[in-house]
Structures are given as structure tokens and as C-alpha cells.
Amino acid sequence: MTIQRNTKRILQITYNKFPPEIRVAKEGLSLQGAGYQSAVLCPPFGDQPEYEVWNGIEVFRPRVLNKRSVLDKLLLISAFHSPSWYRAIRNVISKWQPDVLHVHDIWLGRTAFTARTTEKIVMDLHENMPAAVVEYLKGNHSLRLWFFSLVRSYRRIFAYERSLLERCDLVFAVVQEARERVLINHPALNSDQVINVENLESKRFVAEPGVGLPAFGKDHFSVLYIGGFGPHRGVDTLIRAMTPIKQNGNNIKVQLIGAQPGQYLNMLMQLIKKLGVAERVSITGWVNAENVLANIQQADVCCVPHHSNPHTDNTIPHKLYQYMIAKRPVLVSSSPPLARTVRQANAGMIFRAGDPQDCALKILAMADDQAMCAQFAANGYSYVMEQGHNWEEESAPRLVAAYDRLLNVS
């Protein structure tokens, strides 16, 4: 019996805002483009409609997720189950009748398993979450730290992750190191169950001329980091690197874009003041998606300064590929997925993770050799666009092939 893709429905479930949740969008568009019926279940933000069709993808935003009680939120944090999310998932299952629940990250996994009827379940692991919770807590100094360390300890999250993954039909990882980690940590899983759908960037990222505006000018040699802030991201290393660079006297500044108010941002601001490098470091808040490319293209060097730890060593941000596809030379830490990728592409320089002196030396070397930077930029662009390390040519085919096997599509 031949089963056609257009008879199968795949519902992605994400805790984050969609759009623009990038991985969700790339996977949804690839599945829809391959012929599968594709939908997303997510919370409503602002005036987003309860239902819409976005680029052929059906989007469900049940209003029950806009009215979650404090108790509901505490239950999700501590018991990994949300009555509101349960009702939302059950409601969309009833309306849309999916064949697969594709759950992003582990936090909604238990609720999805409780809510499902006969649907297969795919877990999409953006991060090594047992290790990630340890790193996230480093940015908190309050009763919140005590509470989270109690209910989201490494051991507890590790056990929760194992209980989910051993019941899943498929597990997706975002980089090869993450796939290896899952198979080592959870030996009951079959290697065929765990698929690396690399967090590569789509060619569409630079397909159309940008209309956004950069947040900084061109009166200095700029080193850009753009994305989420957090203790594991290593932006503190970039800030500390400005001390020896300031002593060198070069006109070099760090542009940090994506800051959100909170304790960690306060810690960074205190660090900048303590080091006396305020004139060397500019911090900008979150920018809209249409402004991301404009900021990347404005920079002289684009950086992913991750600290090296069990969390960052098992993930890779799509921003690295955005940098390369935008023809910018890159500077990354020695966190294995970053260093391996940059070496393969010969797209930039690598500094010892967490070492501001080595970071400063690499920045100075790049500032002093524009020809080298231009070659790095050309190499990175070629790696992504011409050698096939992009979403359309590498990741999407793996995603679709995994679903074809799962659903016996021919």
C-alpha cells in the first residue's frame, strides 16, 4: 500500500512565539514543501490571532494559553505538566487530528504524552537541557535560584529527559555532538531513533535585500554578538577582552545586541563599569528579525563566544551560519561544535573559551589583517552556499527522510 505525504499531518508544539521561532519555521516550511500537512501549536503573544495560515502552515494559538494561572506555571516548572497546555494540545488534536506531535525541547514533553491519543511523538532537542539548567542558574542570585536548584537540579532533569526519550518514536538533535551525547547518556535508545538535523541556516536568509537598520555606525572596528544573553553565552569574555584591547589603543568596540532586562544584564553592566570599558562596549536590546541581517552586515567581525561546558559543547546556534551566509568573518570560542565548524569552513579564528586575553589577541589579529578577514568571509559563504552546508541541501532532506521512515511514506 502506497502512503502519500499529503495524507499525513505533523503538529509542531513550541513554548515560544511563532513566528519567528527560527527552527520551528524552517522545519514547518520544509515539511509543508515536501507535501506533508504542517501545523504549529504555540502560545498567543500580543494581538496574534487564535488561528491563521502562515506561508502554508496552519498556526493554532489557543486562548487558554493566554490565561495560565500561577499554579499552572508552577506545575510546569516543578512537575513538568501544565493543565492549560494539556487542554490546548487536546483541543488541537481534536480539531486537526495530527499523526505526529513534534515537541520542541523537553518541558512540554510530559504534557504531550499525557494529552496524546494515538499520535507518534518526536522530541526536538534544541539543547542539552540537563546541563543547560545548571548554566542558566548562574545568572540568578535570589530565592528564584534556590527554588529552581531544588525543582530543576541536573539529576532530576536528566531523569525526566530519559523518561521522555525512551518513549519517543524519534529524537532530533541540532548538531552531531548532541546526537552523540544523547546516545551515550541514554543507551536504551537505538541509534536509528536519534537523527541529527543540523541547525543550519536557510538560503532565504540573504535571498532578499534587507530593509532593516543597524544599531551602530562605521566609525570603529566592530565585533558583533547578536542573540540571547545568558551566563553560558560568553559575552562576559568579550567584555573582559576589551581591557587589553583598550590598553593597545586601537579603535575597536564590541556591539552586544539582544539584551533583555534582568539580573544577568545587571551583572554585565556592573562588570563593564568595574573594568572601565564603557566606551568600548555597546549593549542594545532585542531587535526585530528584519534588523538582524542589517546588523550582521554592518559588523567587521561576528562572534559566538560561548563558554565551554556540557551545555554549549552539545549545541550550535544558527547565528554562526547566519554570520557566514552574510559574508562576515567569524570569531568563535573553542567550544567543540563551534571550533570544528569554523575549522572545516576556514571561516575565522578560534580563541580559548573563557580566556579574555586570547580573545583579545584574536580580535587584534583580525583588526590588523583585513585581507585575511576577507578570505575568511569568502570561505564561510562558500561553505554554506556553495558546498551545501545549508538548511535546504543538508538539514531539510534529513528531516523529511526521517519522517518518511517514521510514517512509512513512499
| pLDDT tier for residue 210 given thresholds of 50, 70 and 90 | low
Please give the CATH topology (third level) of the domain spanning 205-386. Rossmann fold (3.40.50)
User: Of the given ranges (61-70, 180-189, 322-331), which has the lowest mean pLDDT?
Assistant: 61-70
Lowest-confidence range among 6-10, 105-109, 126-130, 210-214? 210-214
241 to 282, 296, 334: CA distances (angstroms): 14, 20, 16
Amino acid 208: pLDDT: 67
The single-letter DSSP state of residue 17 is -
DSSP code of 109? H
For 80, phi then psi, to 5°, come to 60, 35
Paired sense of beta strands 170-173 and 194-196, if any: parallel
Domain locations along the chain: 5-200+391-406, 205-386
CA angle 23, 33, 119 (to 5 degrees): 70
| pTM for the whole structure | 0.92
Percent of the chain with pLDDT over 70: 96
- Using the predicted structure, report yes or no on whether residue 281 has a pLDDT greater than 70: yes
Instruction: Give pLDDT, residue 134.
Output: 83
Average pLDDT over residues 89-112: 98
Q: What is the pLDDT of residues 341-390, one digit of tens each?
A: 999 999 999 999 999 999 999 999 999 999 999 999 999 999 999 999 99
Residue 137 has pLDDT above 80, yes or no: no
Q: Which CATH number fits domain 5-200+391-406: 3.40.50.720, 3.40.50.2000, 3.40.50.300, 3.90.1150.200?
A: 3.40.50.2000
Give the Cα separation of 108 and 127 in Å (integer): 14
Specify the higher pLDDT residue, 101 or 287: 101
Whether 39 contacts 14, CB under 8 Å = no
Structure confidence at residue 1 (pLDDT): 60
What mean pLDDT is predicted for residues 38-61?
Answer: 96
* Average predicted confidence (pLDDT) for the chain: 94
Percent of the chain with pLDDT over 90: 84
- Examine domains 5-200+391-406 and 205-386 and report if their fold is the same: yes
pLDDT grade for 393, boundaries at 50, 70 and 90: very high
Go through 185-208 and write b for each residue having 16 or more CB atoms within 10 A of its CB, e for each that does not.
ebeebeeebbbbbbbbbbeebbee
Mean pLDDT is lowest, of 71-85, 197-211, 340-354, for 197-211
Q: List the alpha helices (DSSP H) in 55-175.
A: 70-79, 83-96, 109-115, 129-136, 143-151, 154-165
pLDDT at residue number 191: 96
Q: 12-45, pLDDT tens digit by residue?
A: 999 999 998 999 999 999 999 999 999 999 999 9
User: In this predicted structure, what is the pLDDT of residue 151?
Assistant: 78
pLDDT tens-place string over residues 314-348: 999 999 999 999 999 999 999 999 999 999 999 99
Dist. CA 68–CA 72, nearest whole Å: 6
Cell of 123: 522530541
Say yes or no to pLDDT of 2 above 80. no
**pLDDT at site 341:** 98
What's the pLDDT at 287? Answer: 87
- pLDDT, residue 143, reads 59
Residue 288 is predicted with a pLDDT of: 83
pLDDT value at position 83?
97
pLDDT at 145: 61
Concatenated DSSP letters for 291-359? GHHHHHHH-SEEEE-PPPSTTGGG---HHHHHHHHTT--EEEES-HHHHHHHHHHT-EEEE-TT-HHHH
Measured between alpha carbons, how far is 9 from 197 in angstroms, rounded to an integer? 20
